[in-house]
Amino acid sequence: MLFPRFTALLLLVAICLSLSTPGVSASLEVHPNWPSRATAHVKPQKPTRKGEPKRRVIRIDDKALLEASSTGGPSSWCAGPPKFPVGQPVDLLLPTPSGDRHVVLYIPSSYEKRKQWNGRYTPVALQVLFHGLRDECHNFLHATGFMPYAEKDGYILVSACGASGWFGRAWNAGTCCGFYHDAPDDVAFARQIVQLLTNSACVDPAKVFATGFSNGGMLSEVLACEAPDVFRAVASVSGVVELRPGNEEGLELCTAALRNQSSRASVLMIHGDKDLFVPWEGLHTMGFPPITNNTLGWVLRSGCDEKALHTTINTTDFLNVIYDDCSPDRTRGMEGGVDSTAFSPAIYSTNEEDSLDLTALSKNPMWLRYLNAKPRSIVHLDRKERAFQRQALRQHLYPSAPDTSSEVGGENGSKAESKNPSITVELVRGIGYRHHWYETKNFSTTDYIYRFGLRVFGSY
């Protein structure tokens, strides 16, 4: 028994260390007092080291900004300008039971265009970003390239920083990565972030969107399990549901958490089928279920019509399936949730063929084509592809957001964005791709996520 446990521990350490992404370090000068709008704009500081500017941080001492509004309206702060500077990232410290937590807020300059003739603002969407293991919130905000999209549509971005765990900065989302108890409560922290922005800017509560990579993607899916009343859409890149103790029990815990919830979040999953760290086939030792089972779980929990699925991807190395005919009413059981008998052990089988034989979903030819797609002959990117990906990532630091009418991100644009919020479950499979935020010649993770939000919300 000792050897398997020791092997599992070594595997956990190796995976957690490998899941990291390069972070951006900077000196943080904590500003304890709440500044007025006139002095809140953070001026450039003399860098402590080359390329590392000294940043001021606003500490949130006003507890009223962290408390739920009694109005229950679209937003408690639409009558005037936001309480924070616009047009630049702003560092905030939020008090939590486990200590101060750090987030980076970006309210675009175009937010001011939401101002009406009477001085009130029209509500905007809020996208909350969750980085991967050992990454940093500033780095993730810039590297993912969502800021130009926010500037284009006038919506708000906030990038959250994880807490320090055994393997570095991470999120307490389940069996990974470095937390073995209920603290810190990152679901409560995510709710607190949304509450802060709702009380200090004109946020539309029906358009709150969680987006994460790797360990951050795992937290995003947990938010769809435990906080669909706050997060109406989530995007998980290289993540999976791995609530403790993980595997099929983790999927069942997600189902149980939704049992008494009247709402469901739309869920997007983007995953490479050659991911070594969160494998497509699952990794039982780490508590990671197979991605196909993870997807079927969301299809069942969301009450999706498994026959009503289609695809919009027109590339050879990325495929997608979209379920947009979903209704929580279809999941009503004796206790108001998904019938647990729908999650038979066979569905969790790592043998895809066994799973397919025992589910009605397998009868759909599109799903069969999706699951049986052959990996590319060359799994690793060649030199030219690597050079292009580096260039794409550099351009994605501050790119020009594409016009929504163009065909970008590998989608054929045949399906118009919905005008009303809806429940959608989507899965994008990167054929032959590993554990990355994919930016290639014919597919952009950032752009696909942006368009997913358009499909769900209708607008930002």
Pairwise CA distance, residues 198 & 409, whole Å: 31
Contact status, residue 346 vs residue 358, Cβ threshold 8 Å: yes
Tell whether the model's pLDDT for residue 445 goes beyond 50. yes
Span 134-168, pLDDT tens digits: 999 999 999 999 999 999 999 999 999 999 888 88
Tell whether the model's pLDDT for residue 273 goes beyond 60. yes
Residue 405 three-state SS: coil
Q: What is the mean pLDDT of residues 109-127?
A: 93
Listed residue (60, 53, 117, 115) closest to 86, CA to CA: 115
Pairwise CA distance, residues 122 & 267, whole Å: 26
Q: How far is CA 77 from CA 24, 71, 92, 120, 269, in A?
A: 32, 11, 18, 9, 32
Contact status, residue 135 vs residue 21, Cβ threshold 8 Å: yes
Among 126-140, 287-301, 354-368, 419-433, the least confident range: 354-368
7 falls in which pLDDT band (50, 70, 90)?
very low
Q: What is the mean pLDDT of residues 264-271?
A: 98
Q: What is the mean pLDDT of residues 377-397?
A: 40
The share of the chain scoring above pLDDT 70, in percent, equals: 66
19 falls in which pLDDT band (50, 70, 90)?
low
The share of the chain scoring above pLDDT 90, in percent, equals: 53
Q: What is the mean pLDDT of residues 35-54?
A: 38
10 falls in which pLDDT band (50, 70, 90)?
low
Tell whether the model's pLDDT for residue 100 goes beyond 70. yes
Quickly list DSSP for 26-93: --EEEE-SPPPTTT-SPPPPPPSBTTB--EEEEE---GGGGSPPSS-SS-S--SS--SS-SSSEEEEE
Span 193-246, pLDDT tens digits: 999 999 999 999 999 999 999 999 999 999 999 999 999 999 999 999 999 999
**Which span out of 166-180, 312-326, 364-378, 443-457 was modeled with the highest average pLDDT?**
443-457
Measured from the Cβ of residue 27, the count of other Cβ atoms closer than 10 Å reads 12
pLDDT value at residue 369: 52
Tell whether the model's pLDDT for residue 13 goes beyond 80. no
User: Regarding predicted confidence, which is higher, 331 or 439?
Assistant: 439
Tell whether the model's pLDDT for residue 30 goes beyond 60. no
What values do phi and psi take at 228, rounded to 5?
Answer: -70, -15
**Which span out of 71-75, 323-327, 370-374, 453-457 was modeled with the highest average pLDDT?**
453-457
Among 111-125, 145-159, 408-422, the least confident range: 408-422
Among 46-50, 122-126, 231-235, 314-318, the least confident range: 46-50
Tell whether the model's pLDDT for residue 20 goes beyond 90. no
450 falls in which pLDDT band (50, 70, 90)?
very high
pLDDT value at residue 54: 62
Domains of the chain from N-terminus onward: 2-25+94-457 (3.40.50.1820)
pLDDT value at residue 22: 38
Q: What is the mean pLDDT of residues 362-386?
A: 45
Q: What is the CA radius of gyration of the chain?
A: 21
User: Regarding predicted confidence, which is higher, 350 or 138?
Assistant: 138
pLDDT value at residue 158: 99
Cβ contacts of residue 41 below 8 Å, gap of 6+? 85, 88
pLDDT value at residue 365: 54
3 falls in which pLDDT band (50, 70, 90)?
very low
How high is the mean pLDDT of the chain?
A: 76
User: Regarding predicted confidence, which is higher, 217 or 311?
Assistant: 217
Among 93-107, 123-137, 174-188, 418-432, the least confident range: 418-432
Give pTM, 2 decimals.
Answer: 0.78
Q: How far is CA 62 from CA 86, 100, 272, in A?
A: 20, 14, 43
Q: What is the mean pLDDT of residues 289-301?
A: 96
Contact status, residue 135 vs residue 102, Cβ threshold 8 Å: no
Tell whether the model's pLDDT for residue 16 goes beyond 60. no
Q: Which residue has the tokens 């790119």?
A: 399
Q: What is the mean pLDDT of residues 90-109?
A: 94
330 falls in which pLDDT band (50, 70, 90)?
confident
